[in-house]
Chain A
Amino acid sequence: MFVVEARDLFKSYPRPDRKGETFNAVDGVSLTIETGEIFGILGPNGAGKTTTLEMLEGLTDIGSGEAIVAGLDVKTEPYKVKQRIGVQLQANEYFDQLSLRELLRLFTALYGRAEAPETLLGLVNLLEKANAKPAKLSGGQKQRFSIACALVNEPQVLFLDEPTTGLDPQAKRNIWDLIRALNAKGMTIVLTTHNMEEAESLCGRIAIMDHGKIIAQGTPQELILQHAPEPPAAPLHGNLEDVFLHLTGAALRE
């Protein structure tokens, strides 16, 4: 059963450097995500990962193409889709003057629900911070809090945009454990990352994006078998980072 089905997604924006011209930030993306899997989207900065996610989440208008998420057409029923999914954004800013408890209560109320904030805070290990303001949290705590905010509606699919970027190894592993625990309870998880170790250890399947297109898709093992560079007269070697660099090139991105 597919929980996300996207066909030929396109999104164009005006070029920042040349007036009057547009470029395709997302250039014909098709993907399917099965219920219960952890699906990773990899790609250099500017590859179109976030725009793809935001179209699936109903945050950005779909330029053209189709997206069915949690059984609903995102184009025609974006608000119903939002009701069924959880989203963690890259930037995590909240109203400064509200405590974690109040913010969770706000988000819960906006879904028309009434779960106790304490349950969610307990789930992400932030119970003792219930009365703190978000500005007082460390990087890892902030990420855990933003995942808690994405869980207020018990979503069918959880979208995480670079959940571990900028975290120290301990905080990173803590987030991985949380993602695995949520997935073990049956939640489908879609995440973007730059971290190859993360993709390899968490994701069941991976799509690699560059220049708005998906250039490779499969399980980590499949990708390594198909794309890892093979030096002549040497046994097959390499890891997922080699695959990534081989496919997207070693040139520095923005």
Chain B
Amino acid sequence: MNPTLVMTRTFLRLFSRDRQAIFFSLFFPLIFMTVFGLAGSRADDPMKVGIVDNADNALSHRFVATLSANPLFEVHEGDEAALREQVIAGDLRLALILPAGFEDNGTPSALTLLVDAAQVRELGLIMPVLEQALVDVERELRNTTSLFSLTVEDVKARSQSYLSFVVPGLLAFTLMTLSIGGSGFNIVEYRRKGILKRLFVTPIQPKHFIGGLVLSRTIICMTQLTVLVAVAVVLLRVEVAGSFASLYVVGILGTALFLSIGFCLGSLAKTQAAIMAIGNLVTFPQVFLSGIFYPIDTLPDLIQPVAQLLPLSFVATGLREIIVNGAAIGDILPTLAGLIVWAIVALGLAIRLFVWKEVAS
């Protein structure tokens, strides 16, 4: 048998017996995905608001009823002092005080809103809803009809649930950890223990060793990709809008890129502790910045352009475009180009940094 295939078989066998690696690479994302899948199916909690009804008349009752009917709110009535306490404690998001003169007497009534100033951002979302409730009550009283009506029609172009956002991110994340762990961490361990040196006593050449490692990791990563996608589609009802073929194209490119990064790190680090540190330094920021769990556009404006250029961003974006938006390979050429540029840079660096004769050290 070809030495490359001998090494491929050996690495696959080693991986299949490494329970810890299997747990972290396969079961961790699986559990994560399932948890998100279950959590995502629950409706959002309504916002707790307090109302102090100082007017206590027909109009104020109607206003409270209108607000209570809105599923966005969970309305609690009480006296001002008590509700103020609850807002401060954070039990209520806000409290609305209806003044004693809250009635239809021609002059506008001044309503007071008690809110924690730190939540100003939310205020912007709440105010229109409150105003709408007021307008509705007002129209009803004045017997006027609104000029406009807005009807929502779901075109169901794509599922926008958080789960379908996070699945491609998790796939990219898994490819990264499996590949960097498989090349970088393993090489440091094999070198430190002298296993590399023992292998190079035999007529095996570097290309056989690297070839076997790359081939075995690609098989492992693609198996992983298949299992995760299958679970997402069959159990969690995530729709894959694009083709599976394009999914594998991005998957294989991503694997090649992260394997090369792993080889670079494995060459830089001489000890197991060092590779842990360097590995975390490279993977950790990417997990937060590459739009794995939250979209990149929720990041500060200054960071966004940089975040978009990270290797993991290209892989995650590529996979997401295919799964969520049904993109074909031709639609994501800029993303693929970014991926390939990174892969070439990393591979070139890996070749420069990896000193074969240092296997003896």
Which residues of chain B have a CB within 8 Å of any CB of chain A? 1, 3, 6, 10, 13-14, 17-18, 193-195, 197-205, 357, 360
- Considering the chains assembled together, what is the distance between the CA atoms of A57 and B200 in angstroms? 10
Contacts of A95 in B (CB 8 A): 10, 14, 195
A110/B203 contact (C-beta < 8 A), A60-B357, A97-B14 known: yes
| Residue contact B14 to A98, C-beta cutoff 8 Å | yes
Q: In the complex the two chains form, what is the Cα distance from A92 to B357 in whole Å?
A: 18
Given contacts A79-B205, A91-B197, A112-B3, 15 further A-B contacts (CB under 8 A): A57-B201, A59-B360, A60-B357, A79-B203, A80-B203, A82-B203, A87-B201, A89-B201, A91-B194, A93-B194, A94-B195, A95-B14, A97-B14, A110-B199, A150-B201
8 A-B pairs whose Cβ atoms sit less than 8 Å apart in the complex: A57-B201, A82-B202, A89-B201, A91-B194, A94-B195, A94-B198, A98-B14, A153-B202
A69–chain B nearest beta-carbon distance, Å: 13
Interface status of A83 (Cβ within 8 A of chain B): yes
Classify the interface of chain B: helix, strand, loop or mixed.
helix
Task: Let me know if B203 and A93 touch, CB within 8 A.
Answer: no
A106 pairs with B193, CB closer than 8 A:
no
Per a CB cutoff under 8 Å, which of A59, A102, A106, A112 touches B197?
Answer: A59
Task: Please tell me the size bucket of the interface on A.
Answer: 20 to 34
Minimum C-beta distance from A179 to chain B (A): 18
Q: Which residues of A contact B204 (CB under 8 A)?
A: 110
Instruction: Report the separation of the CA atoms of residues A91 and B193 in the bound assembly, to the nearest whole angstrom.
Output: 8
Question: How many residue-residue contacts, CB under 8 A, span A and B?
Answer: 61
Interface residues of A in 35-55 (CB under 8 A from B): 54
- A111: which of B193, B203, B357 is its contact (CB, 8 Å)? B203
B155: shortest Cβ distance to chain A, in Å? 53
Do the beta carbons of A60 and B360 come within 8 Å of each other?
A: yes
A contact residues vs B (CB 8 Å cutoff)? 54, 57, 59-61, 79-80, 82-83, 87, 89, 91-95, 97-98, 102, 106-107, 109-112, 149-150, 153
Residues of A within 8 A of B1 (CB): 109
> For residue B197, which residues in chain A have a CB less than 8 angstroms away from its CB?
59, 89, 91
CB contacts (< 8 Å) of B17 on chain A: these are: 97
Complex partner residue of A93 from B6, B14, B193, B202, CB under 8 angstroms: B193
Rounded to whole angstroms, the CA-CA distance of A8 and B203 in the bound complex is: 25
Give, as a whole number of angstroms, the nearest-CB distance from A143 to chain B: 14
CA distance in complex: A153, B198 (Å): 14
Q: In the bound complex, what is the Cα–Cα distance between A153 and B18 (angstroms)? A: 30
> Assuming A60-B357, A93-B193, is B201 touching A82 (CB within 8 A)?
yes
Smallest Cβ-Cβ distance to B193: which chain A residue: A93
What's the least CB distance linking A254 to chain B, in Å?
17
Inter-chain contact A111/B202, CB cutoff 8 Å: yes
Query: What is the CA–CA distance of A69 and B157 in the complex, to the nearest angstrom?
Result: 71
